[in-house]
Amino acid sequence: MKSSKHMSNAKAGVIPQHVAIIMDGNGRWAKARFLPRTAGHAQGVKTVRKVIESCVRSGVRYLTLFAFSSENWQRPQEEVGVLMDLFVQALEKEVKKLNEQGVRLRVIGERSRFSTKLIERIEQAERVTQHNDRLHLTIAASYGGRWDIVQAMHALLQARPDLAQSVQDLTEADIAQHLSMAWAPDPDLFIRTGGEQRVSNFLIWQQAYSELYFTDRFWPEFDENDFQAALAWYQNRERRFGKISEQLTKLEPKEPTAC
């Protein structure tokens, strides 16, 4: 009953344009089943596939998934190796289907740390899907929000060395246009599975006005009903962007103002 209610609510209302997800709880899901942590990651890849399908069906235009943080390099070498292998395998297996579904794939993060093989697969997947526009799927891997801001500042100062002499001219827009997701709208809905309630250095600039949704469900068990529940929750949020309720005429995102 509860899930079907969520499904009809979600379909009737405003669909977030951009959903960003921290896919947490793979290790705990596996541990609860006396499986190695890496089995949780393998199962997590299946959830990725299902959530992509859900986004295509629901009309979400941008889906950004946090697959591997800058800090995750510190995990045991074996686990890092399995995650990298899963990444290569997923790219090899899924790109054709993603392309058929009209999904454009991009990867953001410090990709110079990846193996040559993985970099080649990423470049190929980005090339093959580059003309698609139905769903923009971004995988954040070897990514950190602070890294993103620093790399944006490097790129900005390289493009505009004059700014170093006139720092008062520096604007938010200058920085934003050099962030790794400069081509996408900011996330409307942020979802974190696995019970933790923190943002963990994911898209920290872009999430300034995102609605934050936390669920105890572990990523490998996160399903269509859970996704629809998050959409339904989002539809009941009033997005004010620093204004007051009476100033809002419609639900579409507007330019953020200081709060």
What residues act catalytically?
Answer: 24, 72
Per rule CB under 6 A, is residue 103 in the interface with ligand FPP?
no
Beta carbon nearer to ligand FPP, 96 or 243: 96
Phi-psi label, residue 118: left if phi above 0, alpha if psi -120 to 50, beta otherwise? alpha
Asked whether the beta carbons of 91 and 123 are under 8 A apart, the reply is no
- Please choose, out of 81-89, 100-108, 142-150, 204-212, the segment that lies near ligand FPP by the rule CB under 6 A: 81-89
Asked whether the beta carbons of 75 and 40 are under 8 A apart, the reply is no
Q: Which of 7, 139, 184, 230 is the binder for ligand FPP (CB under 6 A)?
A: 139
Beta carbon nearer to ligand FPP, 200 or 207: 200
Asked whether the beta carbons of 66 and 22 are under 8 A apart, the reply is yes
Token pair listed for 2: 């509860």
Q: Which of 52, 65, 122, 152 is the binder for ligand FPP (CB under 6 A)?
A: 65
Q: Which ranges in the chain belong to alpha helices (H)? A: 2-12, 26-31, 37-58, 77-100, 116-128, 145-159, 172-176, 224-235
Between the alpha carbon of residue 237 and those of residues 28, 62, 139, 179, 226, the distances in Å are 30, 19, 26, 27, 17
Beta carbon nearer to ligand FPP, 73 or 183: 73
- Helix axes of 37-58 and 224-235: crossing angle, nearest 10 degrees: 50
Per rule CB under 6 A, is residue 226 in the interface with ligand FPP?
no
Q: How far is the CB of 66 from ligand FPP (least distance, A)?
A: 7
> Between 174 and 193, how does the x/- string for binding to ligand FPP read (CB under 6 A)?
--------------------
Beta carbon nearer to ligand FPP, 4 or 89: 89
| Interacting positions 9-38 with ligand FPP (CB under 6 A) | 23-28
Beta carbon nearer to ligand FPP, 23 or 152: 23
Asked whether the beta carbons of 47 and 22 are under 8 A apart, the reply is no
* Cα 29 to chain centroid, rounded: 21
Per rule CB under 6 A, is residue 95 in the interface with ligand FPP?
no
CA–CA separation, 106 and 104 (whole Å): 7
- Please choose, out of 42-50, 124-132, 171-179, 248-256, the segment that lies near ligand FPP by the rule CB under 6 A: 42-50
CA–CA separation, 205 and 241 (whole Å): 15
- Please choose, out of 86-94, 112-120, 160-168, 176-184, the segment that lies near ligand FPP by the rule CB under 6 A: 86-94
Footprint of ligand FPP (CB under 6 A) = 23-28, 41, 44-45, 48, 65, 67-68, 72, 83, 86-87, 90, 139, 194, 219
